[in-house]
Each structure stands twice: as C-alpha cells, then as structure tokens.
Amino acid sequence: MVFRLFTDEEHEVWNDPENLQLEAREKIAKGEEKMKAYYDKKKSGTLLFDKGEIVVVRRNPKETGESTKTQPRYRGPMVVTEIPPSDTYRISQLEPSNGRLYATTAHVSQLKA
C-alpha cells in the first residue's frame, strides 16, 4: 500500500538540477534586493539638519547601578553650529550651564529635531 503511493504518476517528482539552480539564483537575487532596500531606507543620504537648527542629542545612560528607566534619554536643546562631512554635526548648547558652553560632535543617528 505504501509503495503504491510512491509509484503513482502524480507523486513522481523529478526536478532538473538546472531548474533548481535557476530557482535558487532567483531567490538569492530577490533576497539581496530586499536587503538593499532595507539598508538604503535606513542609511542617511541627505542632510537632515541645517545650520542653526535646534536639536537634542541622545545620551548614554549613567552607570550608577540605578534603573535607567527614569534617566533622561536626550540632552538638549542644542543648536547645530557646523556641518562637517559624513553625516556628522557639530552642536553646542543654546545657553551655557555652570558658566560653560557644552559643545560636541554627534552623528546624525544620535540627533533628533
């Protein structure tokens, strides 16, 4: 009974190796296109901020042993003072705190308008 199932004409399947390779190439190309589209969507290709625009910068949580849930995630407001190449921005505080003006360089992924 079991052997009859495998010998039926409708269950006999022969896949040509060339067809399998062609199908595999098509699936790989389709996957590569998807990955490229995802990468291009995430990559910053244009300037997102102009000089003089007000932004906040993401900060790393302090390692005090306390919960990071209540710590502020962003520092600011800050103003964009210079736009060097490669998606980086020179930013500084609007008003000095403790008599000093905080200035730093930050990547576009760390900034938020």
Range of the domain at 83: 53-112
Are residues 107 and 87 in contact, defined by beta-carbon separation less than 8 angstroms?
A: yes
Do 58 and 96 lie in one domain? The reply is yes
Tokens found for residue 42:
């995430």
Q: Which residues of the chain have pLDDT under 50?
A: 1-2, 5
Do 57 and 33 lie in one domain? The reply is no
Task: Give pLDDT, residue 30.
Answer: 97
Task: Give pLDDT, residue 1.
Answer: 46
Do 64 and 83 lie in one domain? The reply is yes
Task: Give pLDDT, residue 23.
Answer: 93
Do 40 and 77 lie in one domain? The reply is no
Q: Residue 74 falls within a domain, yes or no?
A: yes
Phi, psi of 26 (to 5 degrees): -65, -40
- pTM exceeds 0.85: no
CA gyration radius for the chain?
28
Is the bond preceding residue 77 a cis peptide, omega within 30 degrees? yes
Q: Residue 5 falls within a domain, yes or no?
A: no
Do 107 and 73 lie in one domain? The reply is yes
Q: Residue 1 falls within a domain, yes or no?
A: no
